[in-house]
């Protein structure tokens, strides 16, 4: 499993779209999992978190991030 950062919002013109994190096998799997959980938001970006230190920090502090 890998960690993906999803950029999603219900406002298409929002310049500061929030980020959500999903554990998945692939980018398409991450998008599918996110849409199944939070269907009312539109996805504007999906990137794998490749920085191992950042990924570990997100795993260790789930209270600071939105994990799906």
Tens digits of residue pLDDT in 9-39: 999 999 999 999 999 999 999 999 999 999 9
Helices and strands per DSSP (H, E), number in the chain? 2, 3
Query: For 39-63, what is each residue's pLDDT tens digit?
Result: 999 999 999 999 999 999 999 998 8
Tell me what pLDDT residue 48 has: 97
Residue 68, pLDDT > 90, answer: no
Closest by CA to 5, choosing from 55, 63, 39, 56, is 55
Decide the pairing of beta strands 2-9 and 42-48: antiparallel
The reported pTM is 0.90
């Amino acid at each position: 499993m890998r960690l993906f950062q999803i950029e999603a919002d219900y406002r298409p013109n929002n310049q500061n779209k929030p980020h959500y994190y999903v554990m998945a096998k692939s980018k398409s799997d991450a998008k599918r999992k996110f849409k199944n959980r939070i269907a009312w938001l539109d996805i504007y970006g999906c990137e794998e978190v490749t920085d191992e230190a950042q990924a570990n920090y997100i795993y260790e502090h789930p209270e600071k991030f939105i994990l799906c």
